Structure 1
Amino acid sequence: MKKIYILLLVTIAFQFTNAQSEELQWLDIELANYEYPLPVSDITVNNQKQTLKMAYMDVQPDDYNGKNVLLLHGKNFNGAYWKTTIDALTKEGFRVVVPDQIGFGKSSKPDHFHYTFQQLAQNTKSLLDSLSISKTAILGHSMGGMVATRFALMFPDTTEKLILENPIGLEDWKLKVPYKPVEWWYKNELKKDYESIKKYQLESYYDNKWKPEYDQWVNLLAGWTKNADYEKIAWNAALTYDMIFTQPVVYEFKNIEAKTLLIIGTRDRTALGKPLVSEEVRKTMGLYSQLGKTTQERIPNAQLVEIDNIGHLPHIESFERFIKPLVQFLKE
């Protein structure tokens, strides 16, 4: 009887997931049919003999305190997932700027592009210059942490403070994971659908504990798979995987000048290339409960806030425990 009951639950869950997948909204390649939480503008950047559009939100508070915060998104996200953070920071008087990097969100998806963290940092600096912002705190999550690190190294005079929220790149995966060419990552991207994207986020981000509000972040990626131009999106995603894998920032943490805050959800196990290594090696990768402490030692003048039992997305999974130390650090 127990086996029959379990089988029934699995069947219902499968049918529900399939129904969700079938109802999934087709999304435009630049998310023209997806509304961000706040008004979106864009600037033109000229990169690699191309004219490209870089989208961003610039949110100014009613009672501006003279300080700015730049929010940099992760690889599987865009600026939209910063809404609660934007609301909290503007309430405290901060002006908040939230770009979508080239290849992400509402920004251009080039047919061909040499992705480097330097190029993304330079584009971000161009955005700040267009807004006449000469000083800002920079918060980067996941891949955005690698962009933020490179920005802080390239533009120390602009970077007032640096905040890294569960950044990837705290270890050099090239030392453990065999290299795979861009074409390999591209084929993997082409295989993605609603079910596989949700499975990855469920297991990797939320410790198999799903909440309805997480659905929107699955839908944003899965909606693209229904687009006839998905191959272009998948190709850009593959190029950014190669960038992440081949351009570590970990060896330069010692050169960061800005006062730094690390906010680390210690349950996180995110690491690039885990399927390519043995189980024994896999167990040594993405150990954020250790990586946070190691990184704090590497970055001069760094503080560490560990959030126990929280994974890769503290600002989504445990907002109050994330925002309190962030605001305190920004006001210091």
Structure 2
Amino acid sequence: MGFRFKPKQSLAVVLASAALCGAAPALAANVYGEQLEGFRYPFPLQHFTFSSQQQTLSMGYMDVKPTHQANGKTVVLMHGKNFCGATWDDTIKALSQQGYRVVAPDQIGFCSSTKPANYQYTFQQLAQNTHQLLQQLGINNAVIVGHSTGGMLATRYALMYPQQTQKLVLVNPIGLEDWKAKGAPWRSVDQWYQRELKLDAAGIKKYEQQTYYSGQWKPEYDKWVDMLAGLNSGPGHNKVAWNSALLYDMIFTQPVYYEFKDLNVPTTLMIGTADTTAIGSDIASPEVKAKLGHYNVLGKQVAKMIPGARLIEFPGMGHAPQMEEPQKFNQTLLEDLARK
């Protein structure tokens, strides 16, 4: 059972209630602001302010300089739906130590960025927002790495800005199939919203353990549950849930699957083969559910669709290999980026 922080409640009341009901305070102890205020990012957090859809928005990002001799290359890390730029922590360190400049933004609607009351979410819009950020930072060419939903966004970015995409790396991207076309049921935004309002630390941990980490759990994963649960439990609770609902609708209704064949940038797929992520599978019939989320098959299929793509598999790993086995993942990523 999880607890939501209401503006009129004190944190002490929330924690007392959790203790009385036997909840795990280590997973739900912290409450964060609407833009994740109070959560500690691994590197200095900056904000890019810009105008979009008749409103002023703020996009949080980390811009990490090389810690050793600069190699002149920039890597942009795009987070997934239930992730933030901060979850790239270990990968940022590994890249910066090898001379890369690393930019890790939080997309609008997520984490440290604005949660608009009204926003027409499209992958094109998020790609344009990111492109504007990179222009502001003076970055005209970069390696684009996208994980999970960030993989769909990275694909869209590479399709829109091929000249600015030095290389595309997709880490367990969702959207390797069209769930809707395979029979996964559609949800209305209102239905997504009601679902998202009910998120709590226990539910987040259960889902992440099953899907992200192949049923395993390590203490270092707790902070990422705390990050999401604390954001959802904070004063921005309703806005966070509403934007999450809009984003899920975007993911479900805007497939990039049919355009993988149109990519014309060097592309690598990095796939944890035990991943089963599929939007809508939780409410699909057993027959439809059985068709969805087979990353051990999907990775191979999509690698054949993308011209010249390279496939790297992590046997037995789940949806987030960069967090499940960061040392192995980061070494593999660095080796791939060094390839001519």
- 1:204-233 superposed Cα distances (whole Å, 9 cap, x missing partner): 222321111111111111112322330110
Identify unmatched segments of 5+ residues in structure 2: 1-18
- 1:228-274 superposed Cα distances (whole Å, 9 cap, x missing partner): 33011000000000000000001000111110111000000000001
Q: Which position in structure 1 is the counterpart of 2:300?
A: 293
Q: Which position in structure 2 is the counterpart of 1:280?
A: 287
> 1:154: Cα distance to partner?
0.1
Distance 2:154 2:185 in 1: 26
> 1:21: Cα distance to partner?
6.2
Distance 1:216 1:36 in 2: 11
- 1:161-189 superposed Cα distances (whole Å, 9 cap, x missing partner): 00000000000011111211100000000
> 1:301: Cα distance to partner?
1.2
Q: Relative to structure 1, is the Cα distance of residues 257 and 189 closer, same or farther in structure 2, using a 3 angstrom cutoff? A: same
Q: Which position in structure 1 is the counterpart of 2:177?
A: 171
> 1:300: Cα distance to partner?
0.5
Q: Which position in structure 2 is the counterpart of 1:203?
A: 210
The answer to whether structure 1 residue 138 and structure 2 residue 152 are counterparts is no
> 1:43: Cα distance to partner?
1.0
Does the CA-based 8 Å contact 2:214-2:316 persist in structure 1? no
Q: Which position in structure 2 is the counterpart of 1:65?
A: 71
Does the CA-based 8 Å contact 1:21-1:194 persist in structure 2? no
Q: Which position in structure 2 is the counterpart of 1:41?
A: 46
Q: Which position in structure 2 is the counterpart of 1:114?
A: 120
Q: Relative to structure 1, is the Cα distance of residues 219 and 58 closer, same or farther in structure 2, using a 3 angstrom cutoff? A: same
1:246 is aligned with what amino acid? T
State the number of aligned residues.
319
Distance 1:17 1:313 in 2: 29
> 1:296: Cα distance to partner?
0.3
Does the CA-based 8 Å contact 2:34-2:235 persist in structure 1? no
Structure with the higher fraction of residues in helix conformation = 1
State percent identity of aligned pairs.
50
Q: Which position in structure 1 is the counterpart of 2:32?
A: 27
2:326 is aligned with what amino acid? F
- Structure scoring higher RCO (CA < 8 A, sep ≥ 6) equals 2
Distance 1:238 1:260 in 2: 30
- 1:260-296 superposed Cα distances (whole Å, 9 cap, x missing partner): 1110000000000012211122111000000000010
Q: Which position in structure 1 is the counterpart of 2:336?
A: 329
1:66 is aligned with what amino acid? G
Does the CA-based 8 Å contact 1:21-1:195 persist in structure 2? no
Greater alpha carbon shift after TM alignment, 260-269 vs 315-324: 315-324
Q: Which position in structure 2 is the counterpart of 1:313?
A: 320
1:242 to 238, 243, 249: 249
Does the CA-based 8 Å contact 2:276-2:294 persist in structure 1? yes
Q: Which position in structure 2 is the counterpart of 1:269?
A: 276
Does the CA-based 8 Å contact 1:265-1:312 persist in structure 2? yes
Distance 1:246 1:118 in 2: 13
2:237 is aligned with what amino acid? Y
Does the CA-based 8 Å contact 1:174-1:245 persist in structure 2? yes
Does the CA-based 8 Å contact 2:192-2:245 persist in structure 1? yes
Distance 1:305 1:298 in 2: 15
2:310 to 292, 303, 327: 303
Q: Which position in structure 1 is the counterpart of 2:156?
A: 150
- 1:178-204 superposed Cα distances (whole Å, 9 cap, x missing partner): 211100000000111111111111222
Distance 2:318 2:166 in 1: 27
- The normalised TM-score by structure 2 is 0.91
The answer to whether structure 1 residue 18 and structure 2 residue 14 are counterparts is no
1:274 is aligned with what amino acid? S
Aligned residue for 1:275, secondary structure, equals coil
Q: Which position in structure 2 is the counterpart of 1:7?
A: none
Does the CA-based 8 Å contact 1:268-1:310 persist in structure 2? yes
- 1:27-60 superposed Cα distances (whole Å, 9 cap, x missing partner): 1111121110001111112111010001111111
Aligned residue for 1:276, secondary structure, equals coil
Distance 1:23 1:230 in 2: 14
Aligned residue for 2:229, secondary structure, equals helix
1:139 is aligned with what amino acid? V
> 1:320: Cα distance to partner?
2.6
Q: Which position in structure 2 is the counterpart of 1:51?
A: 56
The answer to whether structure 1 residue 125 and structure 2 residue 120 are counterparts is no
2:24 is aligned with what amino acid? A
Distance 2:28 2:316 in 1: 33
Distance 1:275 1:101 in 2: 25
CA RMSD of aligned residues (A): 1.6
The answer to whether structure 1 residue 87 and structure 2 residue 79 are counterparts is no
Q: Relative to structure 1, is the Cα distance of residues 105 and 326 closer, same or farther in structure 2, using a 3 angstrom cutoff? A: same
Q: Which position in structure 2 is the counterpart of 1:8?
A: none
Distance 1:133 1:122 in 2: 14
Q: Relative to structure 1, is the Cα distance of residues 279 and 21 closer, same or farther in structure 2, using a 3 angstrom cutoff? A: farther
> 1:305: Cα distance to partner?
0.4
Identify unmatched segments of 5+ residues in structure 1: 1-13
Aligned residue for 1:18, secondary structure, equals coil
Does the CA-based 8 Å contact 2:80-2:147 persist in structure 1? yes
Runs ≥4 in structure 1, deviation > 4 angstroms?
14-17
